[in-house]
């Protein structure tokens, strides 16, 4: 009988090890290994796995095509006592991984060793970039493409692992609905002479992003009914004979991820700007939005959009009108800046109203004169800023 007083619980964040591997002599070689950030959506709010001692869940990914291989090891397993049973790890993980992930290790190693050296990511090459002397490529595809869909199936467990509140895409939707998704993959391109890559693909998966196209109704002048009421047309998408790709849309960035080993090097902002460039050049995208961003992505987005807009001379004209006289007891002025130019720039840059307002506020704050640093010798105080005198009453 199992010792119920022993510690049979394991922290799921610590027990799971995610590795990017490549084919090597005698098996596989690990390039990067890291742990998930969140596991509550899989193992519960306590992020705990019951019934094992010395538990290790090794989720290996072939670094190029992201084929997964799952290996579970432990020192001891709890023997059921009444209704108390150890966590069925396979049953818990099956909804998040393709069936191939549960094959034997020998099958996994055989498959990744057969990847040709000239393998390339799914979709089409969109952009090549250099970061810190390293080469990265951005590939773009559509979720209706079987190869793109296969990659998403393989990596979808990473969404709840690293995006708080992240949910999986519904890959059982109709082809029309899947066709609304554009997927961007970020890959590091290694030199063929680099370690581990002499006989395997030189691509290393770095991150990905998904973008969904929502139809954006843009009314002109709706017809009027006999009683004078305006009537908006009614229809349901998809419309027979009309491709959704040819309709005006609001493109929403749904998921955005850079794997932990590749973070903190500017890759996220470069990846975001590349996606923005693509959507900006898309003649059917009217507005670029983001679905429920977290604080870290908000910061990345704000800084990137601010840097983009500051290059526009017209945006720099959106300063506060300093000639306005403000009545302390009256309403706030309505024309603090050129609102017509403001809306023209916002619409042309395809930035959502709330986001444009945030960036414009950042710009106005940047115009506040910097407070000169007072020297300790002149003030006789160890202060890092100039003390502003109180306003006389």
In a domain, 171, yes or no: yes
Q: Are residues 86 and 156 in the same domain?
A: no
In a domain, 381, yes or no: no
Pairing of strands 56-62, 16-24: parallel
Q: Are residues 68 and 199 in the same domain?
A: no
pLDDT band at 299 (very low <50, low <70, confident <90, very high): very high
Contact (CB, 8 A) for 339 and 319: no
Residue from 207, 18, 21 nearest 111 by CA: 21
Residue 391: what pLDDT? 38
Of 369 and 307, the structure prediction assigns the larger pLDDT to 307
| H-state helical runs in the chain | 12-15, 40-43, 89-93, 105-113, 146-155, 158-162, 175-178, 267-281, 295-310, 339-349, 353-366, 376-379
What would the two tokens of residue 165 be? 């509140």
In a domain, 232, yes or no: no
Specify binding-site residues for acetyl-CoA: 256-258, 263-269, 294
In the chain, what is the greatest distance between 2 CA atoms, to the nearest angstrom? 84
Domain boundary residue, one of 80, 95, 114: 114
Q: Are residues 64 and 92 in the same domain?
A: yes
pLDDT band at 196 (very low <50, low <70, confident <90, very high): low
Q: Are residues 342 and 198 in the same domain?
A: no
Q: Are residues 309 and 278 in the same domain?
A: no
Predicted confidence (pLDDT) at residue 258 exceeds the cutoff of 90: yes
Q: Are residues 92 and 24 in the same domain?
A: yes
Distances (CA, A) of 185 to 125, 151, 191, 291: 9, 10, 19, 18
Q: Are residues 149 and 172 in the same domain?
A: yes
Q: Are residues 52 and 169 in the same domain?
A: no
Q: Are residues 34 and 140 in the same domain?
A: no
Pairing of strands 76-77, 52-53: antiparallel
CB-based contacts of 78, cutoff 8 Å, min separation 6: 2, 8, 50, 51, 52, 84, 85, 86
Domain boundary residue, one of 114, 148, 175: 114
In a domain, 30, yes or no: yes
**What contacts 24+ positions apart, CB below 8 Å, involve 91-100?**
92/42, 92/43, 93/42, 93/157, 96/42, 96/156, 96/157, 96/160, 96/168, 97/68, 97/70, 97/154, 97/157, 98/68, 98/153, 98/154, 100/67, 100/68
Helices 353-366 and 295-310: angle between axes, nearest 10 degrees: 70
Residues classed as catalytic: 291
- Domain region containing 174: 116-219+246-292
Instruction: Verify cis geometry, omega within 30 degrees of 0, for the bond prior to 238.
Output: yes
Residue 300: what pLDDT? 96
Q: What is the CATH number of the domain that holds 152?
A: 3.40.630.30
Of 237 and 155, the structure prediction assigns the larger pLDDT to 155
Contact (CB, 8 A) for 298 and 262: no
Q: Are residues 286 and 148 in the same domain?
A: yes
pLDDT band at 195 (very low <50, low <70, confident <90, very high): low
pLDDT in tens, 328-371: 888 877 788 999 999 999 999 999 999 999 999 999 999 988 65
pLDDT band at 280 (very low <50, low <70, confident <90, very high): very high
Q: Are residues 97 and 120 in the same domain?
A: no
In a domain, 43, yes or no: yes
In a domain, 274, yes or no: yes
pLDDT band at 323 (very low <50, low <70, confident <90, very high): confident
d(CA 187, CA 24): 20
pLDDT band at 218 (very low <50, low <70, confident <90, very high): confident
pLDDT in tens, 154-175: 999 999 999 998 999 999 988 8
In a domain, 96, yes or no: yes
Residue 28: what pLDDT? 85
Residues 278, 65, 21, CA angle at the centre, nearest 5°?
125
Q: Are residues 180 and 129 in the same domain?
A: yes
> What's the structural domain count of the chain?
3
pLDDT, mean of residues 316-334: 84
In a domain, 169, yes or no: yes
pLDDT band at 310 (very low <50, low <70, confident <90, very high): very high
What would the two tokens of residue 55 be? 């538990």
Average pLDDT taken over every residue of the chain = 87
Q: How many residues does the chain have?
A: 393
Predicted confidence (pLDDT) at residue 385 exceeds the cutoff of 50: no
Q: What is the CATH number of the domain that holds 343?
A: 1.10.10.390
Contact (CB, 8 A) for 156 and 122: no
Domain boundary residue, one of 114, 138, 153: 114
Distances (CA, A) of 362 to 250, 297, 310, 332, 334: 24, 16, 11, 20, 20
CA end-to-end distance (rounded Å), the chain: 81
Residue 176: what pLDDT? 86
């Amino acid at each position: 009988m199992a010792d119920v007083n022993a510690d049979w619980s394991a922290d799921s964040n610590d027990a799971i090890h995610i590795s990017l591997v490549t084919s090597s002599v005698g098996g596989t070689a690990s390039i990067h290994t890291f742990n998930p950030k969140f596991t509550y959506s899989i193992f519960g709010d306590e992020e705990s796995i019951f019934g094992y001692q010395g538990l290790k869940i090794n989720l290996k990914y072939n670094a190029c095509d992201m084929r997964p291989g799952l290996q579970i090891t432990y020192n001891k397993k709890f023997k059921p006592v009444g209704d108390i049973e150890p966590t069925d790890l396979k049953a818990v993980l099956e909804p998040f991984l393709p069936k191939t992930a549960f094959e034997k290790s020998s099958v996994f190693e055989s498959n990744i060793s057969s990847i040709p050296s000239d393998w390339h990511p799914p979709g089409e090459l969109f952009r090549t970039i250099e970061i810190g002397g390293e080469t990265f490529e951005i590939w773009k595809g559509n979720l209706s493409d079987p190869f793109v869909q296969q990659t998403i199936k393989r990596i979808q467990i990473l969404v709840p692992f690293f995006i708080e509140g992240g949910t999986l895409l519904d890959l059982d939707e109709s082809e029309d609905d899947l066709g609304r998704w554009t997927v961007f993959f970020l890959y590091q391109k290694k030199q063929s002479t680099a370690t581990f890559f002499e006989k395997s693909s030189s691509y290393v998966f770095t991150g990905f992003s998904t973008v969904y196209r929502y139809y954006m109704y843009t009314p002109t002048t709706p017809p009027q009914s006999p009683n004078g009421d305006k009537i908006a047309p009614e229809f349901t998408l998809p419309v027979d004979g009309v491709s959704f790709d040819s309709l005006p849309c609001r493109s929403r960035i749904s998921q955005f991820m850079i794997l932990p080993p590749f973070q903190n090097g500017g890759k996220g902002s470069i990846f975001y700007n590349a996606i923005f460039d693509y959507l900006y050049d898309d003649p059917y995208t009217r507005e670029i939005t983001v679905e429920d961003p977290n604080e870290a992505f908000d910061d990345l987005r704000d800084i990137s959009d601010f840097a983009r807009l500051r290059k526009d001379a017209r945006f720099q004209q959106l300063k506060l009108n300093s000639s306005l006289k403000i009545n302390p007891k009256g309403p706030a002025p309505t024309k603090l800046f050129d609102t017509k130019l403001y809306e023209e720039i916002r619409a042309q840059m395809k930035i959502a109203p709330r986001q444009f307002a945030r960036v414009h506020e950042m710009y106005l704050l940047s115009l506040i004169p910097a407070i000169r640093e007072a020297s300790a010798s002149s003030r006789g105080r160890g202060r890092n800023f100039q003390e502003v005198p109180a306003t006389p009453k």
